[in-house]
Amino acid sequence: MTTGYRKPKGFHNNMMEHLGLIYRGILNRCALFVNDQRVEPVDPLFLDPNARFYDVGNKVFAQGRESLQFAMKNSRTGAEGMVRLRFSYMPPEFQRNKDGTENKERLGIMKDNNAYLIVTRAGRQIDLVMRSHYPKEDLNKKNLNIFDRNWAVELDFDPELDEEFGITVNKQQVNLSERAWQALMDNNLPGIIKNDLVATFAKARDDRKAKVDANAAKQSEQVMAEAEKFTKKRSPLPDKKKEQARKNVEDEAEKEAQQTEKPKGEVEKKLLEQAQAKRYVILFEPLEGAPFYRTDLFGPQTRVWINTRHRFYTEVYDGLKAMPRVRAAVELLLFTLAAEELTDIDEREMFYKNERKLWYDRLELLLQLLDRRSSLEEEQSASDEIKEEQ
């Protein structure tokens, strides 16, 4: 007996959820009670507004897809029955509360019903099919993972098709026939799962991760803006640099005005307002053979451009995705160098530009030496393992 059923309260709560899940399709026609409390339906696809946990207050709801149904004949008896399919997609934030903590009720149901197919017979849940078994091997999805919790497919069939779905005598398990798998394939079930449900969640996950990365990058930009009130007032920018900062805005405004067909003055005003609101920004550009960063002024905005073609980006900066604070610290270092370069006299600016070229060559050499050392260490480790085996 599991822990959840040992105490009266746990038994009551678990039975309410279990019976609500199993008999969800027929609770609108008959009533079940546990300790005089009426059982409410629990929809593992979270698409029924009348079911429990449909709305948990986080304003994130399951998204249904167009349902599918088709007729099928029992190959032995010739009787015809209907197969009905429901599809549900649950966004990445679906199993979380409004405050970002886990919603245990939703997550528990998602975990318990993480299957390729949730199979019901005439409205009563019978079994979970954990793997697909189509005639074409390349369409089969062998292993489910935690990300597959965020989509669900419910397959309901009429009793006339019991033999095609391998229903057992006690009506507790299913074993789909080859004909049943072929019928699902003919109705594009693998395509719906792969190209819609799985692909939509993967994109949403990537977008969410990119948003988290972007927010991590903004930490350094916000710190630089905050630090302005603690730093001593610098000398005014030389006229030459002010002019270049204005020209950068004008050039960008002209480009955008041509693309959007808006007045250049209107676009320029918008760009200056954006630059004033965000005084420091990290940007990226691909420049083969160029230094690992450069800096410029865009109106009142200080920009640091990181070269994505340099090994500094591929082997240092990009590798810090999992350590946002360290990445932000690296950005702050670049902002510090940029501030000195942009606000100093021409000689100092020339010094930084020339030094960056030297830093490029020096860093490239050091990374090559690091590659060589890593390779030697791997060879030594492999040699030691061979000796131990002998």
Is residue 79 within 8 A of residue 73, CB to CB? The reply is yes
Q: Which residues are paired to 303 by β-bridges?
A: 281, 296
Q: Which residue has the tokens 């060589």?
A: 372
| Residue 162 neighbours by CB under 8 Å, 6+ apart | 74, 121
Q: How many other β-carbons are positioned within 10 Å of the β-carbon of residue 32? A: 16
User: What letter does residue 73 receive in the DSSP assignment?
Assistant: E
Tens-digit pLDDT profile for residues 302-350: 999 998 888 888 888 888 877 888 888 999 989 888 887 776 666 666 7
- With b meaning 16 or more CB within 10 Å and e meaning fewer, what string describes 82-110? ebebbbbbbbbebbbeeeeeebeebeebb
**pLDDT at residue 234, rounded to an integer:** 59
Q: CA of 173: how far to CAs of 77, 109, 166, 167, in Å?
A: 21, 19, 8, 6
DSSP class per residue in 21-58: HHTTTTTTTS--EETTEEPPP--TT---TTSTTS--SS
- The full set of domain ranges for the chain reads 43-187, 210-376
pLDDT < 50 positions in the chain: 1-2, 382, 385-390
CA dist., res. 326 & res. 339, Å (int): 20
**pLDDT at residue 209, rounded to an integer:** 74
Tens-digit pLDDT profile for residues 108-158: 999 999 999 999 998 899 999 999 999 888 777 778 888 899 999 999 999
**pLDDT at residue 289, rounded to an integer:** 82
What beta strand segments (E) does 257-364 contain?
280-285, 293-298, 301-307
* pTM for this predicted structure: 0.59
